[in-house]
Amino acid sequence: MINDEESFFLAIDRNSLAEQAIFDALADIDDEEYYTLFEVEVEHSCGQARVQVYPERSGTLYRCLNCGMAGIIGG
C-alpha cells in the first residue's frame, strides 16, 4: 500500500518527467520561435495529452489541455 509520502513523491516524479518531455519537444526551437505558442503531445502526469507551451527567456509556461494543470518550468 502506498502511503501519503510515497504518493507525493510519485506525483513529483510524474510531473518532472512531463516537464522533461516538454523540454525535449521544444529542444529544436530557434531564437525567432521564442514567444510563440506551441502545442506538443507528451506523456503528462495525467497520461498522454496535448500541452500548450509558451517558451520565453525567463522560463516555459505550460497548460495541459487534458487536465488543465498549468505552470512554469525554469525561470
The helix (H) or strand (E) run that includes residue 43 is strand 38-44
Nearest-angstrom CA–CA distance, 54 and 17 = 18
**pTM score > 0.75 for this model?**
no
Q: What is the pLDDT of residues 20-39, one digit of tens each?
A: 888 887 888 888 888 999 99
Furthest CA-CA distance within the chain: 49
Q: Domain spans of the chain?
A: 4-73
* 32 three-state secondary structure: helix
Q: What is the pLDDT of residue 9?
A: 85
Nearest-angstrom CA–CA distance, 37 and 44 = 18
Contact between 67 and 49 under an 8 Å Cβ cutoff? The reply is: yes
- Place 8 in a pLDDT band, splitting at 50, 70 and 90: confident
Q: What is the pLDDT of residue 11?
A: 79
Side chain identity, residue 69: M
